[in-house]
Structure 1
């Protein structure tokens, strides 16, 4: 598959690295040679210096034969123009990064498709959605909903209070039990568990369950003492903070602390119809945090542009008694460190955006894909096609690739768990957990057979 990426910033380079790992035919374009750096020599991709809106540059890059064209430069207008040009030259699918929220309206989808833009991504909106998922369930590190919440995956950090530690999973997750453990992250390893595996203290366990049993998962994982989030302090008033504040549930009280006085004035305008309080100050100032009620705050969210600052601020908030902390960590080199320091939920805009783009490469009906940085894995919602291999045999006989597991499915808008004897039907929405980001190996199971 030929893929062209315009923009060698954080999202573009991260996506190019993912594609290099999959041995895709990838070309990365940027006007500035220093941004391209050593990408061509360090990874299995082509690089090209030039403007993404230059017809000659795009033609030279081979956009006429591209299955996917992705424009992720910092300039929204340039991205959209590049996609329109690429589409007219011959690119089959196009994706543009934007920062105008109104463009995401569902009623505008046909308009953008008509002019040659198949998909729009706003990384800050995607990150804000993940932040709010974390705030709604203070005891969960990660949450992922399938089919509007009919099926739910919960990433939970286990402590000594967990009831199900040190017991073989075959005794815990039988066919009639209301949850499955689809993966375990233990220190630096991700385990796709079998019946003899056990959960241990400090594991990150990924539970698949239905929405009705979320309180049960909370009980058995020993998280009932976690206070529900009502008061939130956000450090940093960037785009992600604004989007997060705008979609926070009404029962939560949100304060944004921002160092830049002019930005505070802008925030007050952007949030004028919202109850969010904007405070001019430094979110690392202990005296300020105390004055603003950190002792009565259940969640602290650090969203500055500096990963180290965010990590340290979350550690300080934890020492001051905050139960839930969320840190924006854009430098992937710091993710493992943040995890080892037990920061809580970690947000990375470029991996969120890259996962959204990556799902467009899958040659099957796949939606709602998420990349789990801490587990080096992806989860995605596949729809089983008529006559696809996944519908021909019980799950235990499918011969699924190593590192892949099916956690559940939604049939006729009803979520249900899957075991080895389950038979997937055409039209089912199926939750797939895939270690080592090998979703491309999964697509063949959900596509219709060419010869019957």
Structure 2
């Protein structure tokens, strides 16, 4: 598969690194030669110092033979123009990064497709949705819904109060337990567990289950006494912050603290009247106390500095905030954030890469999630007629090492999977896998 990525910024370079290990034919193009030189020589890709909006430049990059053209420069208009040109020069499929929510409305999809822009991605909006999912339940670290919520996956950290510590998984209740443990994150290692594995203190455990059993998982995880979230304080009035408060449930009250007065004035125009806008420094402990940090259950740090966000979350935890969420765009700081017990980390690069990666897949994949901490992915496959996964029980299919089936939905109903489960055509199957292994799993579906 020949893939051209236009834009060697944060999203483009991260995506190029991910895809270069997939044995794809990757070309990274950018007008800034310095950005391209930072990529190093150890990646299996080609870099070209050309403009993505130059017809000659696109021709020289070989766009006529491109299976996928991805425009992720910082400029929306440049991305849209590049995709239109690429399509007209022969690219089979195009993806543009945008920052205008209006373009994503369903009524505009056909219009942009006719112009040659086949898919649109808005990383800030995707990040905001992940933040809202994370604050819905105070005791979880990550949360995903599959098939409209018929099946859910959640990650939560095991404290001393958890009932399932130090018990081999095969002793947790046999075939009738209403959940499946798909992975355990222990230190820097991600484990796909077997029956003789045990859950230890401070493990982050990833469960799949149906919504009615979420209270049960909360109980066995020892999280029943953690307060529900009603008040959220957001540091930084970024576009992600605006989208976050727009998606926030009605019963959660939000405050945004922004240092720039002009931005504060703009925020009052962009968000609902019920959202309080505060002009000040979110690192100011006295200001946080005055604004009710002691009565706040969730603190979200969304400034442009990863270091500031991590430190602000640590300060909020010391002041008693149950749930802290930090935007960490510097990938090198993600493991540090985890070691400091920052509950949820938001990284636009990972989120955008997951969605673009989904577009590369030949199988019918409706959902791909990147687990920020775990170097792993979750994918939702729709099973095709006659596919390999339907030929035998799950235990005899021979899934590659590092992959496990977390559950499935059939006719809209969520089901957990055992070794004896027979998967059928039309099922929506949730697969958990280490690394970027999703491409290897396509042949099963």
| TM category, shorter | over 0.9
Per-residue deviation at 1:174? 2.7
Contact 1:382–1:429 (Cα < 8 Å) also in 2: yes
Q: Distance in 2 between matches of 1:317 and 1:8?
A: 35
Deviations 1:36-79 (A, max 9, x none): 12325131110011111111111111111111110000110110
The equivalences for 1:247-286 within 5 A come to 247-271=247-271, 273-286=272-285
- 3-state SS, counterpart of residue 422 of structure 2: coil
Q: Distance in 2 between matches of 1:301 and 1:432?
A: 30
- 3-state SS, counterpart of residue 167 of structure 2: coil
The residue number in structure 1 matching 2:222 is 222
- 3-state SS, counterpart of residue 175 of structure 2: coil
Q: Distance in 1 between matches of 2:44 and 2:38?
A: 11
- 3-state SS, counterpart of residue 132 of structure 1: helix
The residue number in structure 1 matching 2:98 is 98
Per-residue deviation at 1:9? 0.4
- Poorly superposed stretches of 4+, deviation over 3 Å: none
Task: Using structure 2 for the length normalisation, give the TM-score.
Answer: 0.99
Q: Are positions 1:290 and 2:289 aligned together?
A: yes
The residue number in structure 1 matching 2:172 is 172
Q: Distance in 2 between matches of 1:173 and 1:143?
A: 24
Q: Are positions 1:445 and 2:444 aligned together?
A: yes
Deviations 1:305-335 (A, max 9, x none): 1011000000000000000000000000000
Q: Distance in 1 between matches of 2:29 and 2:342?
A: 36
Per-residue deviation at 1:175? 2.3
Q: CA RMSD in A?
A: 0.9
Q: Distance in 2 between matches of 1:298 and 1:305?
A: 23
Deviations 1:208-234 (A, max 9, x none): 101110111101100111111111100
Deviations 1:392-451 (A, max 9, x none): 1111011100000001001000000001000111111100101012111000001xxxxx
Which structure 1 residue ranges, 5 or more long, are not aligned? 447-452
The residue number in structure 2 matching 1:449 is none
Per-residue deviation at 1:382? 0.4
Per-residue deviation at 1:274? 4.2
Deviations 1:244-265 (A, max 9, x none): 0111011111000001111111
The residue number in structure 1 matching 2:34 is 34
Q: Distance in 2 between matches of 1:438 and 1:138?
A: 31
The residue number in structure 1 matching 2:182 is 182
Contact 1:40–1:47 (Cα < 8 Å) also in 2: no
Task: Using structure 1 for the length normalisation, give the TM-score.
Answer: 0.97
The residue number in structure 2 matching 1:108 is 108
The residue number in structure 1 matching 2:73 is 73
The equivalences for 1:312-327 within 5 A come to 312-327=311-326
Deviations 1:163-189 (A, max 9, x none): 011111111253221001000000011
Q: Are positions 1:118 and 2:79 aligned together?
A: no
The residue number in structure 1 matching 2:418 is 419
The equivalences for 1:141-152 within 5 A come to 141-152=141-152
Q: Distance in 1 between matches of 2:176 and 2:123?
A: 39
Q: Distance in 1 between matches of 2:116 and 2:149?
A: 32
Contact 1:40–1:46 (Cα < 8 Å) also in 2: no
Q: Distance in 1 between matches of 2:262 and 2:254?
A: 20
Q: Distance in 2 between matches of 1:425 and 1:112?
A: 36
- 3-state SS, counterpart of residue 421 of structure 1: coil
Q: Distance in 2 between matches of 1:117 and 1:423?
A: 40
- 3-state SS, counterpart of residue 42 of structure 1: coil
The residue number in structure 1 matching 2:58 is 58
The residue number in structure 1 matching 2:308 is 309
Q: Distance in 2 between matches of 1:240 and 1:80?
A: 21
Per-residue deviation at 1:6? 0.3
The residue number in structure 1 matching 2:431 is 432
Contact 1:235–1:303 (Cα < 8 Å) also in 2: yes
Q: Distance in 2 between matches of 1:173 and 1:146?
A: 25
The residue number in structure 1 matching 2:398 is 399
Deviates more, 1:91-100 or 1:167-176: 167-176
Q: Distance in 2 between matches of 1:288 and 1:123?
A: 31
The residue number in structure 1 matching 2:48 is 48
- 3-state SS, counterpart of residue 44 of structure 1: coil
The residue number in structure 2 matching 1:372 is 371
- 3-state SS, counterpart of residue 375 of structure 1: coil
Number of residues of Structure 1 aligned to a counterpart in Structure 2: 445
Contact 1:39–1:45 (Cα < 8 Å) also in 2: no
Distance 1:124 1:243, change over 3 A: same
Per-residue deviation at 1:119? 1.0
